[in-house]
């Protein structure tokens, strides 16, 4: 019951932040710059409990104050399942430290449309100060890989605003004032299934081999002659 109530509250806050952003609540008066990044890593086919971190770096010249946030993630491979996000970020310290309202699990359930995972959190009081040049953690994301997954590198990207957004201590949207830039991450799968070439590619390869064989045969006949 408590988990269900927490999930409903998270979903309501996510909706509220997105609504504030949509109707154009005034952003913070001081414009800043932040970069959101997704850690890249490798994972074996059939593995579970793999993790990566989502971080925020203040690349502006002044500190910023953040009272709440949400972020959405999409993964470009259906063999990879994002399962949950927690506040256990490392080595970058979690943005709200021990003052997380929803932690340790900050996953939003049910996941809003357009994302494979959405996480959100609020600080218990006031706002967290992120100094210029500082990197903080936004979420420690868990994922599983299917046993028959294809080998290869697959992108993990952010779901754009308003799913990914930020609020001040009063709940006002400040996303545009932070001028966020979105990085991407890569999950490289190994130990799985190699991709089967498309029929057209296989046909071209066969033609190439036949042509090469014909050339060698012709060259051999000329040499014997």
Global pTM reads 0.78
41 vs 155: CA distance, rounded Å: 11
Pick the CATH number of 2-194 from 2.60.40.3710, 3.40.640.10, 3.40.109.10, 2.60.40.680: 2.60.40.680
Kindly tell me if the per-residue pLDDT of 160 is higher than 80: yes
68 vs 120: CA distance, rounded Å: 7
Kindly tell me if the per-residue pLDDT of 44 is higher than 70: yes
Q: Which helix (H) or strand (E) holds 3?
A: helix 2-23
Q: What is residue 27's predicted lDDT score, i.e. its pLDDT?
A: 41
* Mean predicted lDDT score pLDDT of the chain: 84
84 vs 105: CA distance, rounded Å: 7
pLDDT digits (tens, 9 = 90+) for 170-202: 999 999 999 999 999 999 999 999 966 556 545
Kindly tell me if the per-residue pLDDT of 62 is higher than 90: yes
Q: pLDDT over 70 for what percent of the chain?
A: 72
Q: Based on the number of CB atoms within 10 Å of its own CB, is 202 exposed (0-12), middle (13-18) or buried (19 or more)?
A: exposed
89: DSSP letter: -
Kindly tell me if the per-residue pLDDT of 21 is higher than 90: no
Q: What is residue 200's predicted lDDT score, i.e. its pLDDT?
A: 58
pLDDT digits (tens, 9 = 90+) for 76-130: 999 999 999 999 999 999 999 999 999 999 999 999 989 999 999 999 999 999 9
CB atoms within 10 A of CB 198: 9
The closest alpha carbon to 143, from 36, 50, 39, belongs to: 50
pLDDT digits (tens, 9 = 90+) for 139-152: 999 999 999 999 99
Q: Which helix (H) or strand (E) holds 205?
A: helix 199-224
DSSP, collapsed to helix, strand or coil, labels residue 143 as strand
User: What would the DSSP string read from start to end of 7-21?
Assistant: HHHHHHHHHHHHHHH
């Amino acid at each position: 019951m408590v988990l269900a109530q927490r999930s409903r509250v998270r979903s309501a806050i996510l909706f509220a932040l997105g609504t504030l952003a949509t109707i154009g609540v005034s952003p913070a008066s001081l414009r800043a710059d932040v970069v959101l990044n997704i850690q890249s890593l490798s994972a074996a086919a059939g593995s579970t409990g793999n993790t990566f971190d989502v971080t925020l770096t203040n690349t502006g010249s002044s500190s910023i104050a953040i009272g709440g946030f949400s972020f959405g993630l999409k993964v470009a491979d259906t063999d990879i399942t994002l399962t949950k996000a927690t506040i256990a970020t490392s080595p970058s310290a979690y943005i709200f430290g021990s003052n997380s309202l929803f932690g340790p699990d900050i996953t939003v359930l049910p996941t809003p449309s357009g994302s494979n995972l959405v996480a959100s959190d609020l600080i218990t009081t006031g706002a967290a100060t992120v100094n210029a040049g500082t990197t903080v953690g936004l979420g420690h994301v868990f994922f599983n890989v299917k046993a028959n997954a294809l080998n290869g590198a697959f992108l993990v990207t952010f779901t754009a605003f308003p799913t990914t957004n930020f609020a001040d201590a009063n709940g006002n949207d400040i996303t545009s004032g932070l001028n966020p830039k979105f990085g991407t991450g890569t999950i490289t799968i190994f130990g799985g299934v190699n991709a089967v070439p498309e029929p057209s590619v296989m046909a071209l390869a066969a033609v190439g081999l036949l042509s090469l064989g014909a050339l060698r045969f012709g060259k051999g006949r000329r040499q014997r002659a």
